[in-house]
Structure 1
């Protein structure tokens, strides 16, 4: 794949300190994605982790808005990867669901993507242990519920809210945010590329 971050000095090999952000609504998750987009450059790799319905696609939707790319960002589950070209000459967004990517990096490279990955921002859901070699540096974003119901489903969350956009459950009253709606998002920069970035800006 090459080394998209050769423009960065080697610097320290230490990872950037992890930043933890409390996110209380789906719109705030999208806002976090928009803030994250401001830190990204061509060649960046973002790995998203979190249980079903944690809000990975919602975060990516905001990231796409921040990058000003074409097309609605939705879950790529059934196509494995979607490419969203930039509307302003910036990097394209390559959105990958690696859940069924059993071949890991080799299968990723076999996908018929019409962009150069080193010139794109690549966001991979369920990518841990599969695609890290796409880049020598990466952002790891872990989304977790503060309180979870049985089988990884938040208590009180409406059925079908798999993308993190929640509606009140039956009898849920006025839809006020509950503890089950709250997400803790942990962002960790891995590699010298991220040692130079102030990730604390994401929590402001």
Structure 2
């Protein structure tokens, strides 16, 4: 895993293969602590689940890591690199916060209501000491739920077509790590040397 650029605290890494994407996830798992929130974004097919699989490997999770799209959240147990118990909540927020808000209800209010109905609101607002939250498609609730977080953005290449540039399944993915908060900035900087 060799970063291409580092601008202020932002780190950009190329992932030419699915193996490289898993390695990025594994390296990120080695710098997380209990209570951390990570937001994973990118278009369909970008490699979010592949990165999550590497993250799970890095936390010693033995169960398969699959996209939680149809379950919204999966809870998995593993071990932090220091040997402590790790509890990972893998959330897919794609279907949360739809357009059918109650009159006068804002988007964040709707998201919090939906998370409460799933039993995830308290865990996301204040993760316990051994819980790490990896949330896909969570950009819309980032500021409301996690003032300190690591944002992981994955972009996939495009291929010219007749009328537009469509995403392609081939080619190198670009992973951009955006630490939010001073603690994350320090920890993410350690990834620059990997």
User: TM-score band, normalised by the shorter chain?
Assistant: 0.7 to 0.9
Q: What is the TM-score of this pair, normalised by structure 2?
A: 0.75
Gaps spanning 5+ residues in structure 2: where?
1-6, 98-109
Specify whether residues 118 and 185 from structure 1 end up closer, same or farther in structure 2 by C-alpha distance, changes over 3 A only.
Answer: same
Matching of residue 111 in structure 1 with residue 118 in structure 2: yes
CA distance in 2, matches of 1:42, 1:92: 8
TM-score by length of 1: 0.72
The residue aligned with 1:153 is 167
Q: Which residue of 2 aligns with 1:55?
A: 47
CA distance in 2: counterparts of 1:85 and 1:104, whole angstroms = 26
Task: For 2:42 and 2:159, locate their aligned partners in 1 and report how far apart those are by CA, in whole Å.
Answer: 12
Matches of 2:27 and 2:56, distance apart in 1: 11
* Deviation for aligned residue 1:73: 0.6
Is contact 1:104-1:131 (8 Å) kept?
A: no
The one of the two structures with greater contact order (alpha-carbon pairs below 8 A, sep at least 6) is: 1
Instruction: Say whether 1:197 aligns with 2:176.
Output: no
Please give the root-mean-square deviation of Cα atoms over the aligned residues, in Å: 2.4
Does 2:17 align with 1:28? Answer: no
The unaligned stretches of length 5 or more in structure 1 are 1-14, 158-179
Alignment pair present for 1:186 and 2:188: no
Taking a change above 3 Å as real, the CA distance of residues 84 and 32 of structure 1, as seen in their structure-2 partners, is: same
State the SS of the aligned residue for 1:100.
Answer: coil
Give the Cα–Cα distance (whole angstroms) in 2 for the partners of residues 16 and 44 of structure 1.
21
Aligned to 1:172: none
The answer as to whether partners of 1:16 and 1:195 remain within 8 angstroms in 2 is no
Q: Would the alpha carbon gap of residues 121 and 148 (structure 1) be closer, same or farther in structure 2, given more than 3 Å must change?
A: farther
Distance 1:50-1:138 versus aligned 2 partners, 3 A rule: same
* Alignment-derived partner of residue 96 in structure 1: 91
Contact 2:22 2:51 in 1 (8 A): yes
Higher normalized strand content (fraction of residues): 2
Alignment of 1:111-190 (within 5 A): 111-112=118-119, 116=123, 117-119=127-129, 120-148=131-159, 152-154=166-168, 157=169, 180-190=170-180
